[in-house]
Structure formats: C-alpha cells, structure tokens
Amino acid sequence: MRHYPDQIEIEPLAQPFDATLRIPGSKSLTNRAFLLAALADDESTVRRPLIADDTNRMLDALRALGFVIEDQRDAVRIVGRSGAIPAHQAKLNLGNAGTATRLLTAACCLDHGTYLLDGVARMRQRPIGELVEPLRQLGANITYCGQSGYPPLQIHAAGLDGGSITMKPTLSSQFISALLMAGPYMERGLTLHFDGPVTSRPYVELTLGLMSEFGVDATVDDAFTQVSVAPGVYCAADYTVEPDASSATYALAAAAAVPDSRVAIPDLGADSLQGDTAFAQVLADMGAGVTVAEDHIAVRHAGPLRGIDADLNHIPDAAMTVAALAVLAEGPTTIRNVGNWRVKETDRMAAMHAELIKLGAGVVVAGDDLTITPPAEGRIRPATIDTYDDHRMAMSFAVIGLARPGITINDPSCVAKTYPGFFDDLDGLRQTQGAGA
C-alpha cells in the first residue's frame, strides 16, 4: 500500500487540465462480488477488483472462513462452496470495514459454526442492531459481546429458516443488502417488506444487479416496497468490476471547479450499477458541463458553480464531495436527508461542520440537513484539515485545495481504505495542465 507523510499540502492547479483518468474498481461491487463468488457453486474470477484496505479485510475474512482464494494479475479467483462455510470456527477482524462487517454477519449465519466478528474501536460504535434483529427473526443465534446493538458479535450458526419480514427505514442500506445476498440459502427464501422509504436505495439496486450477475434474480414490485428471493444457488461467474463511482466524484468535481478544465472517466457510464453516477447530474445542476455516455462520464468547467438545495439521501458518499464544492460555489448549498453520515467511518455531520468552519464557511446543521454558505467573495481561509481516519474527509477537502490555496490534509494515508493512489492521481492531473478546453 502507498504510504504518505503525516500531512500533505495541496498545491492549487494554476492552469487548466484536460485528463482521462482511470479510477480503481468499485469498493461496493468488489466486496459484494468477492462474497458472492465464495457463496457460488464453483470457481469464479473477479477481474479489476479494488485492492485497498476495505477489500483486503473481506478477502482476509473469507480466507479465515476457509475459502480457497488465489490472487492473480488484476484478478482474484475464489472457489465457491454453494453457500457452505468451510471453517466451522473463526475470528474475523474487520477493522473499520463496514460493508464487509455487515455482509459477512448475514453470510456467517448460513451454515453451522461459531464465528466472532469484531473491528477497531470506531466499528464498535457503529450500530448493527437493524441487521441483527431481522436475522434473529429469520432464525439466527447472534450474541452481542459488548454493548447491545453494536459489534463485536458472536454468531452461533445453524442455518437460517428465512421467510417474510417487515423492515422499517434503516440507517444503512447495507443491512438490506446483507439479508438479500444471504436470501437464496435460507430454507424458505426471503421476502422483505419495506414499511417506509429504503435508505440509499441505489445501493440495494446495485446489490440486486450483482446478484443477477451470479445467477440469482430477485422479484421486486414496481413501488419497491417488497423484494423476494427464492431458494437457490449462486452460479460461478467471470465478473469485471466497474471503476468506483464514489472515487470518481473527486476528479469530476475538480474539473467542475478549476477554470477551463475537463476530465473523462472511462468504463463508467449510463449503464453503471452504481448509484453515485448520479453525482454527474448534481454537477450539472451546479452549473458544470456534463456528458454521460454508455462508456464514460466527462465533466468540464462551464463557469462559476452555483449553490443548490438537494436531497442526497440516495448518494450519501458523493454528498461529501458536494459539501466540499459548496465552499467554492456562489450562494448557499443545502444537502438534505444525510443523517446516516453520523454512523459512517466517523460522524461525518460533525466532522464536516467542524472542518468547513475552519475555511470561513457558514455551516448550519438542522436535523439531517446541512446548509453551507461559502466565505464572502470566495475568500477561503487557509486551514489544516483533520480527517478523523475517514478517507472521504481527506479526498473531499483535497478537491478544495486544487482550486484554492492553503489547504493541508492531515493523515492523508487514510485514503488507503478505498483509494490508495488518490494523491498520486491528483498529481497526474498536473501533468495535463495547459491542455484545458
């Protein structure tokens, strides 16, 4: 993994850039594909996966559970066991990898064995009761080893009965994804009824799309109030991971913010499974020039950005980038319905509030909404940004530094969670300076 110094001062881009940037693979798709490959009926190959701390945590956990995994050049080969877990006892240290923790909590219930799932101190502060309680309804035996509702978890697995349950809106869509991915191996399958809107619904749709790639198609009603998964078996697949749409937002935002600049992200387009491609439309609403084709997304600077008022519950990770861009826009920006920021790698609502104020912005938190008023006349105060061991704090504020001087990022190595080469890619934009549109 790439290691950076304790601080990095972001040097503004003094000239326009015109770049084509290849983004690492999607974390969401990589972790789901790794697990589905392990649950499938034969040997699968996952190509162009993201190799970062979060995905390494998933692979290490699958190895601890007894799965045969071979790292190849730009690919990972996994021998599936048709829903069986080879090791009947394991301790899984998942760090602060929320996706891996939630997906594996459900998967570990499918066979017979005893499994301990734990992580860093922050993971023990991230609620998981909204997944554990439905799993208990479906036949799981799960014990909290510490505070009720939080990891670490002790799972005494004996298979899942499955059936039909009703779920109220959850803090994280990953709770729903975890249940759905385990659904085919429940004795009676699984039907989820949603009593209210589905949090970050595009991520649930991403999960369903990837399940289909591995041969299991769910039944979804038109209003997305019910999803059913019949008993079955995942089929082995040769799957290529798309570039990470969340990681792409930083380069796209930089092109929107730096005068006369342009960037294109290949292999990520209109047919993507990832909901964060909707960030492109947010940029268009803010005044950027945006093209979304089947095989790429391109953004160009088209004049000053303007503040917006938008519900971004469907793209909470990309909403972090919007919050950073709001400092560079004309007029206030209100980001609505992002209360689940509080249970991410850090309390992102509090972290954003604290760090944006350092730059001279006006910041008001009202419930699950955040309103940001940029500094008068765009005069951003120089500041050292604390990142709270949160990769998206580092990457979001780095975008501001590309457009304005005086931004220093503390603990830049935290980007290793999902985008180890992030700061190297920012430097790559400099190599195309002077070639702007």
pLDDT at 210: 98
Among candidate residues 196, 227, 258, the one where a domain is terminated? 227
Residue 1 has pLDDT above 60, yes or no: no
Cis peptide before 152 (omega within 30 of 0): yes
Same domain, 264 and 408: yes
Q: Number of folded domains in the chain? A: 2
Euclidean distance between CA atoms 402 and 419, whole angstroms: 18
Tell me whether residue 237 is in a domain. Answer: no
| Single-letter residue type at 174 | Q
- Give the model's confidence band at 433: pLDDT under 50 very low, under 70 low, under 90 confident, else very high: confident
Annotation says 317 is catalytic: yes
| Single-letter residue type at 303 | G
pLDDT digits (tens, 9 = 90+) for 10-19: 999 989 999 9
Among candidate residues 173, 201, 227, the one where a domain is terminated? 227
Residue 41 belongs to domain spanning: 27-227
| Single-letter residue type at 218 | A
pLDDT digits (tens, 9 = 90+) for 30-59: 999 999 999 999 999 999 999 999 999 999
Query: Can you read off the two tokens belonging to residue 117?
Result: 């799932």
Cα Rg of the chain (Å, integer): 21
pLDDT digits (tens, 9 = 90+) for 317-327: 999 999 999 99
What are the backbone dihedrals phi and psi of residue 287, each rounded to the nearest 5 degrees, phi first?
Answer: 110, 5
pLDDT digits (tens, 9 = 90+) for 97-131: 999 999 999 999 999 999 999 999 999 999 999 99
Mean pLDDT value across the chain: 96
| Single-letter residue type at 69 | I
Among candidate residues 227, 259, 289, the one where a domain is terminated? 227
Tell me whether residue 345 is in a domain. Answer: yes
Same domain, 18 and 32: no
Q: Which CATH number characterizes residue 316's domain?
A: 3.65.10.10
pTM of the predicted model, to two decimals? 0.94
Closest CA to 25 of 392, 273, 320: 273
Euclidean distance between CA atoms 96 and 52, whole angstroms: 12
Same domain, 295 and 311: yes
pLDDT at 338: 97
- Give the model's confidence band at 436: pLDDT under 50 very low, under 70 low, under 90 confident, else very high: very low
Same domain, 258 and 177: no
- Give the model's confidence band at 437: pLDDT under 50 very low, under 70 low, under 90 confident, else very high: very low
Same domain, 363 and 402: yes
Tell me whether residue 57 is in a domain. Answer: yes
Please identify which of the residues 53, 276, 317, 411 carries the catalytic annotation.
317
pLDDT at 435: 55
Q: Which segment of 178-182, 245-249, 377-381 scores lowest on mean pLDDT?
A: 377-381
Residues whose CB is less than 8 angstroms from the CB of residue 85 and which lie 6 or more positions away in sequence, other chains included? 65, 66, 107, 108, 110, 111, 112, 113, 157
pLDDT at 431: 86
